[in-house]
Protein backbone atom coordinates (compact mmCIF):
# COMPACT_ATOMS: atom_id res chain seq x y z
CA UNK A 1 0.00 0.00 0.00
CA UNK A 2 1.48 3.36 -0.98
CA UNK A 3 1.68 6.40 1.28
CA UNK A 4 -1.28 8.16 -0.31
CA UNK A 5 -3.59 5.18 0.19
CA UNK A 6 -2.42 4.62 3.75
CA UNK A 7 -2.96 8.26 4.70
CA UNK A 8 -6.37 8.16 3.05
CA UNK A 9 -7.44 5.26 5.28
CA UNK A 10 -6.06 7.02 8.34
CA UNK A 11 -7.77 10.28 7.44
CA UNK A 12 -11.19 8.67 7.01
CA UNK A 13 -10.79 6.28 9.92
CA UNK A 14 -13.74 7.70 11.87
CA UNK A 15 -16.38 7.29 9.10
CA UNK A 16 -14.90 3.89 8.23
CA UNK A 17 -15.15 2.64 11.80
CA UNK A 18 -18.65 4.12 12.13
CA UNK A 19 -20.13 2.88 8.86
CA UNK A 20 -18.14 -0.16 7.73
CA UNK A 21 -19.79 -3.60 7.76
CA UNK A 22 -16.63 -5.73 8.05
CA UNK A 23 -18.41 -9.11 8.16
CA UNK A 24 -19.46 -8.60 4.52
CA UNK A 25 -15.84 -8.21 3.42
CA UNK A 26 -14.08 -11.11 5.12
CA UNK A 27 -14.67 -13.85 2.53
CA UNK A 28 -13.87 -11.52 -0.35
CA UNK A 29 -10.59 -10.30 1.16
CA UNK A 30 -9.54 -13.90 1.79
CA UNK A 31 -10.46 -14.87 -1.79
CA UNK A 32 -8.42 -11.95 -3.13
CA UNK A 33 -5.41 -13.10 -1.10
CA UNK A 34 -5.22 -10.01 1.10
CA UNK A 35 -5.76 -11.87 4.39
CA UNK A 36 -5.50 -15.48 5.46
CA UNK A 37 -8.41 -17.12 7.30
CA UNK A 38 -6.41 -17.05 10.55
CA UNK A 39 -5.93 -13.29 10.23
CA UNK A 40 -9.65 -12.81 9.66
CA UNK A 41 -10.42 -14.88 12.77
CA UNK A 42 -8.16 -12.63 14.83
CA UNK A 43 -9.98 -9.56 13.51
CA UNK A 44 -13.34 -11.16 14.35
CA UNK A 45 -12.11 -11.82 17.90
CA UNK A 46 -11.17 -8.17 18.46
CA UNK A 47 -14.66 -7.32 19.78
CA UNK A 48 -17.72 -5.42 18.58
CA UNK A 49 -18.49 -4.47 14.98
CA UNK A 50 -16.72 -1.13 15.52
CA UNK A 51 -13.72 -2.91 17.05
CA UNK A 52 -13.56 -5.26 14.06
CA UNK A 53 -13.88 -2.39 11.60
CA UNK A 54 -11.13 -0.49 13.37
CA UNK A 55 -8.85 -3.53 13.41
CA UNK A 56 -9.54 -4.34 9.76
CA UNK A 57 -8.60 -0.81 8.65
CA UNK A 58 -5.42 -0.96 10.76
CA UNK A 59 -4.30 -4.37 9.50
CA UNK A 60 -5.19 -3.52 5.91
CA UNK A 61 -2.37 -0.96 5.87
CA UNK A 62 0.19 -3.75 6.34
CA UNK A 63 -1.02 -5.96 3.48
CA UNK A 64 0.91 -4.64 0.49
CA UNK A 65 0.13 -2.83 -2.76
CA UNK A 66 -2.91 -4.94 -3.68
CA UNK A 67 -4.73 -4.27 -0.41
CA UNK A 68 -6.30 -0.87 -1.13
CA UNK A 69 -7.81 -1.65 -4.56
CA UNK A 70 -9.03 -5.00 -3.21
CA UNK A 71 -10.66 -3.19 -0.29
CA UNK A 72 -12.40 -0.71 -2.63
CA UNK A 73 -13.54 -3.51 -4.90
CA UNK A 74 -14.93 -5.50 -1.97
CA UNK A 75 -16.76 -2.45 -0.64
CA UNK A 76 -18.39 -1.92 -4.03
CA UNK A 77 -19.30 -5.62 -4.35
CA UNK A 78 -21.04 -5.52 -0.96
CA UNK A 79 -23.00 -2.33 -1.66
CA UNK A 80 -21.03 -0.05 0.67
CA UNK A 81 -20.83 2.57 -2.05
CA UNK A 82 -20.82 5.63 0.24
CA UNK A 83 -17.48 4.52 1.67
CA UNK A 84 -16.16 3.81 -1.84
CA UNK A 85 -17.09 7.35 -2.95
CA UNK A 86 -15.53 8.81 0.21
CA UNK A 87 -12.22 7.04 -0.37
CA UNK A 88 -12.14 7.70 -4.12
CA UNK A 89 -12.50 11.46 -3.57
CA UNK A 90 -9.09 11.58 -1.95
CA UNK A 91 -7.28 9.61 -4.65
CA UNK A 92 -5.31 11.30 -7.43
CA UNK A 93 -7.49 11.60 -10.55
CA UNK A 94 -5.66 8.87 -12.45
CA UNK A 95 -6.18 6.41 -9.58
CA UNK A 96 -9.94 6.87 -9.07
CA UNK A 97 -10.81 3.85 -11.18
CA UNK A 98 -9.56 0.42 -10.36
CA UNK A 99 -9.41 -2.97 -11.99
CA UNK A 100 -10.22 -6.27 -10.30
CA UNK A 101 -7.40 -7.51 -8.11
CA UNK A 102 -5.75 -10.80 -8.90
CA UNK A 103 -5.45 -13.12 -5.90
CA UNK A 104 -2.01 -13.02 -4.34
CA UNK A 105 -0.44 -15.42 -1.87
CA UNK A 106 -0.61 -14.11 1.71
CA UNK A 107 2.67 -13.42 3.42
CA UNK A 108 4.07 -16.64 4.78
CA UNK A 109 4.77 -16.68 8.47
CA UNK A 110 2.98 -13.37 8.99
CA UNK A 111 1.36 -12.98 12.40
CA UNK A 112 0.20 -9.46 13.25
CA UNK A 113 0.72 -8.04 16.71
CA UNK A 114 -2.75 -7.84 18.18
CA UNK A 115 -3.91 -4.67 19.81
CA UNK A 116 -6.67 -4.59 22.39
CA UNK A 117 -8.92 -1.87 21.00
CA UNK A 118 -11.89 -2.46 23.30
CA UNK A 119 -12.30 1.12 24.43
CA UNK A 120 -15.26 3.46 24.59
CA UNK A 121 -13.32 6.04 22.58
CA UNK A 122 -12.97 5.33 18.86
CA UNK A 123 -9.35 5.32 17.81
CA UNK A 124 -8.80 8.13 15.33
CA UNK A 125 -5.59 7.86 13.34
CA UNK A 126 -5.46 10.85 11.02
CA UNK A 127 -3.02 13.30 9.53
CA UNK A 128 -3.21 16.75 7.98
CA UNK A 129 -1.66 15.98 4.59
CA UNK A 130 -4.87 15.09 2.74
CA UNK A 131 -7.64 17.54 3.49
CA UNK A 132 -10.73 17.35 1.27
CA UNK A 133 -12.11 20.86 0.69
CA UNK A 134 -15.60 19.32 0.56
CA UNK A 135 -15.45 18.39 4.27
CA UNK A 136 -14.44 21.47 6.31
CA UNK A 137 -16.48 20.33 9.34
CA UNK A 138 -14.76 16.94 9.49
CA UNK A 139 -11.42 18.67 9.01
CA UNK A 140 -12.00 20.94 11.99
CA UNK A 141 -13.26 18.03 14.10
CA UNK A 142 -10.18 15.96 13.36
CA UNK A 143 -7.79 18.82 14.06
CA UNK A 144 -9.57 19.53 17.32
CA UNK A 145 -9.40 15.89 18.40
CA UNK A 146 -5.62 15.51 18.07
CA UNK A 147 -2.86 17.19 20.05
CA UNK A 148 -0.48 19.27 17.96
CA UNK A 149 2.91 17.53 17.76
CA UNK A 150 4.89 19.36 15.08
CA UNK A 151 7.70 20.98 17.08
CA UNK A 152 11.22 19.61 16.81
CA UNK A 153 12.19 18.79 19.46
CA UNK A 154 8.66 18.01 20.67
CA UNK A 155 9.56 18.91 24.24
CA UNK A 156 11.58 17.88 27.27
CA UNK A 157 11.75 14.34 28.65
CA UNK A 158 13.12 14.02 32.19
CA UNK A 159 14.26 10.57 33.30
CA UNK A 160 14.90 10.05 37.02
CA UNK A 161 16.81 6.80 37.48
CA UNK A 162 17.25 5.83 41.15
CA UNK A 163 19.51 2.78 41.39
CA UNK A 164 21.80 2.88 44.44
CA UNK A 165 19.94 3.50 47.68
CA UNK A 166 21.54 4.47 50.98
CA UNK A 167 22.14 1.50 53.24
CA UNK A 168 20.25 3.26 56.04
CA UNK A 169 17.13 3.46 53.85
CA UNK A 170 16.57 -0.29 53.92
CA UNK A 171 16.02 -0.16 50.14
CA UNK A 172 18.16 -2.38 47.94
CA UNK A 173 20.05 -1.60 44.74
CA UNK A 174 17.74 -1.65 41.69
CA UNK A 175 19.86 -3.84 39.43
CA UNK A 176 18.73 -3.64 35.81
CA UNK A 177 17.41 -0.06 36.08
CA UNK A 178 20.34 1.38 34.10
CA UNK A 179 19.28 -0.85 31.20
CA UNK A 180 15.76 0.61 31.42
CA UNK A 181 17.19 4.12 31.54
CA UNK A 182 19.38 3.67 28.46
CA UNK A 183 16.53 2.11 26.47
CA UNK A 184 14.04 4.82 27.44
CA UNK A 185 16.58 7.55 26.68
CA UNK A 186 17.20 6.13 23.19
CA UNK A 187 13.45 5.76 22.60
CA UNK A 188 12.50 9.35 23.39
CA UNK A 189 15.48 10.76 21.54
CA UNK A 190 14.25 8.83 18.52
CA UNK A 191 10.80 10.32 19.13
CA UNK A 192 12.38 13.80 18.96
CA UNK A 193 12.44 14.82 22.62
CA UNK A 194 15.24 16.64 24.40
CA UNK A 195 16.12 14.05 27.06
CA UNK A 196 17.47 14.96 30.51
CA UNK A 197 18.76 12.04 32.63
CA UNK A 198 19.28 12.31 36.39
CA UNK A 199 20.65 9.39 38.41
CA UNK A 200 20.44 8.55 42.12
CA UNK A 201 18.46 11.54 43.38
CA UNK A 202 17.49 12.10 47.00
CA UNK A 203 13.95 13.20 47.78
CA UNK A 204 14.99 16.86 47.84
CA UNK A 205 16.91 16.58 44.55
CA UNK A 206 13.96 14.84 42.92
CA UNK A 207 11.69 17.74 43.88
CA UNK A 208 14.33 20.24 42.71
CA UNK A 209 14.69 18.63 39.26
CA UNK A 210 10.93 18.34 38.81
CA UNK A 211 10.30 21.96 39.76
CA UNK A 212 13.19 23.11 37.53
CA UNK A 213 11.60 21.31 34.60
CA UNK A 214 8.17 22.76 35.38
CA UNK A 215 9.68 26.28 35.49
CA UNK A 216 11.23 26.01 32.03
CA UNK A 217 9.67 27.89 29.15
CA UNK A 218 7.70 25.29 27.17
CA UNK A 219 6.12 27.82 24.81
CA UNK A 220 7.82 26.47 21.68
CA UNK A 221 7.23 22.83 22.60
CA UNK A 222 4.19 20.55 22.24
CA UNK A 223 4.56 18.13 25.15
CA UNK A 224 6.42 17.23 28.33
CA UNK A 225 7.37 13.75 29.57
CA UNK A 226 8.58 12.51 32.96
CA UNK A 227 9.87 8.96 33.43
CA UNK A 228 10.60 7.74 36.96
CA UNK A 229 12.50 4.53 37.72
CA UNK A 230 12.65 3.94 41.46
CA UNK A 231 11.32 2.15 44.52
CA UNK A 232 7.87 3.17 45.71
CA UNK A 233 5.00 2.44 48.04
CA UNK A 234 1.31 2.98 48.64
CA UNK A 235 0.24 6.41 49.84
CA UNK A 236 -2.94 8.25 50.76
CA UNK A 237 -4.27 10.09 47.74
CA UNK A 238 -7.24 11.99 46.33
CA UNK A 239 -7.21 10.50 42.84
CA UNK A 240 -4.09 8.41 42.22
CA UNK A 241 -2.24 5.89 44.39
CA UNK A 242 1.41 5.63 45.29
CA UNK A 243 4.58 7.54 46.07
CA UNK A 244 8.23 7.49 44.95
CA UNK A 245 11.34 7.07 47.09
CA UNK A 246 14.53 9.06 46.71
CA UNK A 247 17.81 7.20 47.23
CA UNK A 248 17.99 8.53 50.80
CA UNK A 249 14.81 6.63 51.75
CA UNK A 250 12.62 8.35 54.30
CA UNK A 251 9.20 9.66 53.37
CA UNK A 252 8.42 9.11 49.66
CA UNK A 253 7.12 11.83 47.32
CA UNK A 254 3.48 11.27 46.29
CA UNK A 255 3.08 11.19 42.52
CA UNK A 256 0.05 13.37 43.11
CA UNK A 257 2.51 16.11 44.13
CA UNK A 258 4.91 15.30 41.28
CA UNK A 259 2.19 15.72 38.67
CA UNK A 260 0.81 18.89 40.28
CA UNK A 261 4.05 20.77 39.49
CA UNK A 262 3.08 20.58 35.81
CA UNK A 263 -0.65 21.30 35.93
CA UNK A 264 -2.30 24.38 34.47
CA UNK A 265 -2.09 26.32 37.72
CA UNK A 266 1.67 25.89 38.19
CA UNK A 267 3.12 25.59 34.69
CA UNK A 268 1.49 28.16 32.42
CA UNK A 269 3.49 27.33 29.28
CA UNK A 270 2.23 23.72 29.39
CA UNK A 271 -1.45 24.65 29.59
CA UNK A 272 -3.57 22.63 27.14
CA UNK A 273 -0.48 20.60 26.20
CA UNK A 274 -0.10 16.90 27.05
CA UNK A 275 1.95 15.98 30.12
CA UNK A 276 2.89 12.29 30.19
CA UNK A 277 4.23 10.39 33.20
CA UNK A 278 5.61 6.85 33.06
CA UNK A 279 6.22 5.24 36.45
CA UNK A 280 8.27 2.07 36.90
CA UNK A 281 7.81 1.27 40.56
CA UNK A 282 5.85 -0.93 42.96
CA UNK A 283 2.32 0.12 43.87
CA UNK A 284 2.36 -1.76 47.17
CA UNK A 285 3.30 -5.10 48.67
CA UNK A 286 0.77 -7.46 47.08
CA UNK A 287 1.81 -10.05 44.51
CA UNK A 288 -0.37 -11.40 41.73
CA UNK A 289 -0.13 -15.11 40.95
CA UNK A 290 -2.78 -14.84 38.25
CA UNK A 291 -5.14 -17.72 37.51
CA UNK A 292 -4.15 -21.02 36.00
CA UNK A 293 -5.22 -21.96 32.51
CA UNK A 294 -5.72 -25.58 31.53
CA UNK A 295 -2.17 -25.75 30.17
CA UNK A 296 -0.68 -24.32 33.36
CA UNK A 297 -2.36 -26.43 36.02
CA UNK A 298 0.55 -28.85 36.22
CA UNK A 299 3.35 -26.34 35.60
CA UNK A 300 3.85 -24.84 39.07
CA UNK A 301 7.31 -23.54 39.93
CA UNK A 302 8.96 -23.46 43.32
CA UNK A 303 11.77 -20.89 43.30
CA UNK A 304 13.36 -19.01 46.19
CA UNK A 305 11.98 -15.56 46.97
CA UNK A 306 14.39 -12.74 46.18
CA UNK A 307 13.93 -10.05 48.85
CA UNK A 308 14.40 -6.42 47.83
CA UNK A 309 12.93 -3.00 48.57
CA UNK A 310 9.60 -3.97 50.14
CA UNK A 311 8.59 -6.99 52.14
CA UNK A 312 5.83 -8.88 50.35
CA UNK A 313 3.83 -11.99 50.99
CA UNK A 314 5.68 -13.71 48.14
CA UNK A 315 7.10 -17.16 48.62
CA UNK A 316 8.53 -17.77 45.16
CA UNK A 317 9.67 -15.70 42.20
CA UNK A 318 12.37 -15.98 39.53
CA UNK A 319 15.72 -14.95 41.03
CA UNK A 320 16.32 -12.43 38.24
CA UNK A 321 13.01 -10.58 38.79
CA UNK A 322 12.61 -8.10 41.64
CA UNK A 323 9.72 -5.98 42.94
CA UNK A 324 9.82 -2.14 42.19
CA UNK A 325 7.54 1.19 42.95
CA UNK A 326 4.17 3.39 42.28
CA UNK A 327 2.39 6.78 41.74
CA UNK A 328 -0.46 9.43 42.25
CA UNK A 329 -1.93 12.85 41.06
CA UNK A 330 -4.69 15.53 41.11
CA UNK A 331 -7.28 16.06 38.34
CA UNK A 332 -6.12 18.76 35.90
CA UNK A 333 -6.61 18.14 32.21
CA UNK A 334 -4.09 17.04 29.57
CA UNK A 335 -2.32 14.60 31.88
CA UNK A 336 -1.73 10.87 31.56
CA UNK A 337 0.02 8.77 34.19
CA UNK A 338 1.00 5.27 33.15
CA UNK A 339 1.78 2.78 35.91
CA UNK A 340 3.90 -0.32 35.61
CA UNK A 341 1.51 -2.23 37.87
CA UNK A 342 -1.97 -2.24 39.41
CA UNK A 343 -2.25 -0.09 42.58
CA UNK A 344 -1.23 -2.03 45.67
CA UNK A 345 0.87 -4.60 43.78
CA UNK A 346 4.56 -5.11 43.19
CA UNK A 347 6.21 -4.47 39.83
CA UNK A 348 8.79 -6.93 38.51
CA UNK A 349 12.27 -6.12 37.23
CA UNK A 350 14.82 -8.43 35.64
CA UNK A 351 18.34 -7.70 36.89
CA UNK A 352 19.90 -8.38 33.49
CA UNK A 353 17.26 -7.14 31.03
CA UNK A 354 15.43 -4.41 32.95
CA UNK A 355 11.82 -4.20 34.14
CA UNK A 356 8.98 -6.04 32.41
CA UNK A 357 7.11 -2.76 31.96
CA UNK A 358 9.89 -0.59 30.52
CA UNK A 359 11.25 -3.35 28.31
CA UNK A 360 7.79 -3.91 26.77
CA UNK A 361 6.95 -0.21 26.53
CA UNK A 362 10.18 0.56 24.66
CA UNK A 363 9.61 -2.38 22.31
CA UNK A 364 6.00 -1.43 21.49
CA UNK A 365 6.68 2.31 21.14
CA UNK A 366 9.75 1.70 18.96
CA UNK A 367 7.75 -0.41 16.52
CA UNK A 368 4.38 1.37 16.44
CA UNK A 369 4.63 4.95 17.78
CA UNK A 370 4.65 6.28 14.22
CA UNK A 371 1.37 4.48 13.44
CA UNK A 372 -0.92 4.50 16.47
CA UNK A 373 -2.16 6.80 19.20
CA UNK A 374 -0.82 6.62 22.75
CA UNK A 375 -3.82 4.82 24.21
CA UNK A 376 -3.57 2.05 21.63
CA UNK A 377 0.16 1.70 22.34
CA UNK A 378 -0.44 1.43 26.08
CA UNK A 379 -3.18 -1.16 25.56
CA UNK A 380 -0.68 -3.28 23.65
CA UNK A 381 1.88 -2.86 26.46
CA UNK A 382 -0.72 -3.95 29.02
CA UNK A 383 -1.77 -6.96 26.98
CA UNK A 384 1.79 -8.07 26.29
CA UNK A 385 2.80 -7.93 29.97
CA UNK A 386 -0.40 -9.47 31.31
CA UNK A 387 -0.02 -12.38 28.86
CA UNK A 388 3.72 -12.73 29.43
CA UNK A 389 4.45 -16.33 28.46
CA UNK A 390 7.82 -16.27 30.21
CA UNK A 391 6.02 -15.78 33.53
CA UNK A 392 3.85 -18.90 33.26
CA UNK A 393 3.45 -20.51 36.65
CA UNK A 394 5.14 -17.51 38.31
CA UNK A 395 3.89 -14.07 39.30
CA UNK A 396 1.85 -11.87 36.98
CA UNK A 397 1.69 -8.13 36.45
CA UNK A 398 -0.73 -5.79 34.69
CA UNK A 399 0.08 -2.14 33.97
CA UNK A 400 -2.56 0.56 33.72
CA UNK A 401 -3.00 4.29 33.30
CA UNK A 402 -5.05 7.22 34.53
CA UNK A 403 -5.94 9.22 31.45
CA UNK A 404 -6.97 12.87 31.67
CA UNK A 405 -6.01 13.71 28.09
CA UNK A 406 -8.71 15.62 26.18
CA UNK A 407 -7.57 14.55 22.72
CA UNK A 408 -5.88 11.72 20.89
CA UNK A 409 -2.11 11.80 21.26
CA UNK A 410 0.26 10.73 18.47
CA UNK A 411 4.02 10.95 18.84
CA UNK A 412 4.41 11.71 15.15
CA UNK A 413 1.99 14.16 13.50
CA UNK A 414 4.52 14.94 10.80
CA UNK A 415 6.89 12.78 8.80
CA UNK A 416 9.83 12.50 11.17
CA UNK A 417 10.39 8.77 10.82
Per the residue annotation, which of 231, 237, 372, 408 is the catalytic one?
231
Let me know if 224 is a catalytic residue.
no
Nearest to 408 by CA among 379, 373, 378, 381: 373
Peptide bond into 122 cis (omega under 30): no
The edge-to-edge listing of strands for the beta sheet with 354-355 is 321-323, 348-350, 354-355
Nearby residues of 29 by Cβ (< 8 Å), 6 or more positions away = 35, 40, 70, 71, 74
Q: What SS3 class is residue 223?
A: strand
Phi, psi of 401 (to 5 degrees): -145, 155
Per the residue annotation, which of 218, 282, 317, 372 is the catalytic one?
282
Helices (H) and strands (E) in the chain, counts: 13, 12
Let me know if 266 is a catalytic residue.
no
Residue 141, Cβ neighbours under 10 Å: how many?
14
Cα(296)–Cα(124) distance, integer angstroms: 38
Cα(103)–Cα(114) distance, integer angstroms: 25
Radius of gyration of the chain (CA): 23
Which residues form the catalytic set? Answer: 231, 282
Amino acid sequence: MDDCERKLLQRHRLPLVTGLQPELLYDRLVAKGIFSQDMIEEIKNSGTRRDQARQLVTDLQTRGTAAFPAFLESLEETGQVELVDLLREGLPVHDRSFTPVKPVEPWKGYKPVRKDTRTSHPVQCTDTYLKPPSQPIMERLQDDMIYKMDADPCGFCLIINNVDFDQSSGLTCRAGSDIDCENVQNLFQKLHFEVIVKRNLTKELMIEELTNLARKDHTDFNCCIVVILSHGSQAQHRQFPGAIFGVDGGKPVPVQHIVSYFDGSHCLTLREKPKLFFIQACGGVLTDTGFKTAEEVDSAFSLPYDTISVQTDATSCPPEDEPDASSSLPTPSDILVSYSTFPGYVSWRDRKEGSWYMKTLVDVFSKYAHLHDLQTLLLQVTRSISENEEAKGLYKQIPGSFNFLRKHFYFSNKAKW
